[in-house]
């Protein structure tokens, strides 16, 4: 089970193909385009929305959904840090595979973290393997799986992106309530009650 989604969220499928399609569209409309980041991160362009939709409207690191934050609060992360010497220019890091949908918090926290080659697949959000690196425990905390719990790089990433924080528990709880509420729209009392609970938790989220 992908720790980023609740049972109400759709599975992340064909993400690589979906991103390739967005790239093809950009190249068709802008034949000289090289740095995909420039186009996809532009909030006034349709590419950003398509990119958000490709990720089911969810941060690829913590799973926070567009039900909780606005489209403009999503950012486009360079999975491999764009200022690392491997890239001569920032443009060079803007290839489609290196671009990941992230909420502002995850993108900001991850910042200059450099992904080691030996844990590339374990941390790359478009790979199924990443869904086994972390898991959601019964109290909704995001945790490191047994397989990686002694892995230094994975632990550094986990700490840097702050995946273990209370905020992500609250978001997961909210996403569950939103999902449940959508399933019981005919039951007016339950629907309204869940709405009230959500308002209280949302208020708490905003002060964290």
Site for Zn ion contains 9 (CB under 5 A): no
What does the alpha-carbon distance between residue 124 and residue 106 come to, in Å, rounded to a whole number? 14
Supply the minimum distance, in Å, between the C-beta of residue 131 and Zn ion: 15
- Looking at 36, 68, 99, 103, which residue binds Zn ion (CB under 5 A)? 103
Quick one: 19 or 26, whose CB is closer to Zn ion?
19
Pairing of strands 142-144, 134-136: antiparallel
Q: What is the dihedral sign for C-alpha 137, 141, 142, 144?
A: negative
**CB-nearer residue toward Zn ion: 26 or 163:** 163
Q: Which of residues 44-63 bind Zn ion (CB under 5 A)?
A: 59, 61-62
Give least dist CB 23 to Zn ion, A.
Answer: 23
- 106 makes contact with Zn ion (CB under 5 A): yes
Minimum CB separation of residue 87 from Zn ion in Å reads 23
Given the complex with Zn ion, which of 64 and 119 has the nearer CB atom? 64
Residue linked to tokens 């190249």 = 27
Q: What single string gives the DSSP state of each residue in 15-76? A: HHHHHHHHHHHHHHHSTT---HHHHHT-TTSHHHHHHHHHTTTB-TTT--BTTTS-GGGEEE
Between 62 and 178, name the residue whose CB sits nearer to Zn ion.
62
Chain positions contacting Zn ion, by CB under 5 A: 59, 61-62, 103, 106
């Amino acid at each position: 089970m992908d720790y980023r989604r609740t049972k109400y969220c759709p599975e992340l499928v064909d993400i690589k193909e979906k991103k390739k399609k967005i790239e093809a569209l950009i190249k068709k409309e802008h034949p000289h385009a090289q740095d995909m980041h420039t186009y996809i991160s532009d909030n006034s362009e349709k590419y950003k929305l398509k990119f958000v939709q490709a990720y089911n409207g969810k941060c690829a690191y913590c799973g926070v959904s567009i039900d909780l934050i606005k489209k403009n609060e999503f950012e486009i992360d360079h999975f491999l840090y764009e200022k690392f010497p491997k890239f001569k220019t920032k443009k060079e890091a803007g290839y489609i595979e290196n671009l990941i949908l992230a909420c502002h918090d995850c993108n900001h926290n991850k910042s200059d973290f450099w992904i080691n080659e030996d844990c590339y697949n374990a941390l790359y959000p478009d790979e199924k393997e990443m869904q086994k690196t972390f898991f959601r425990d019964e109290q909704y905390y995001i945790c490191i799986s047994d397989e990686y719990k002694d892995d230094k790089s994975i632990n550094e990433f986990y700490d840097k992106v702050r995946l273990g924080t209370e905020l992500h528990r609250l978001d997961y709880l909210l996403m569950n309530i939103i999902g449940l509420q959508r399933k019981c729209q005919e039951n007016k009392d339950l629907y309204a009650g869940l709405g009230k609970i959500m308002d209280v938790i949302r208020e708490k989220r905003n002060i964290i």
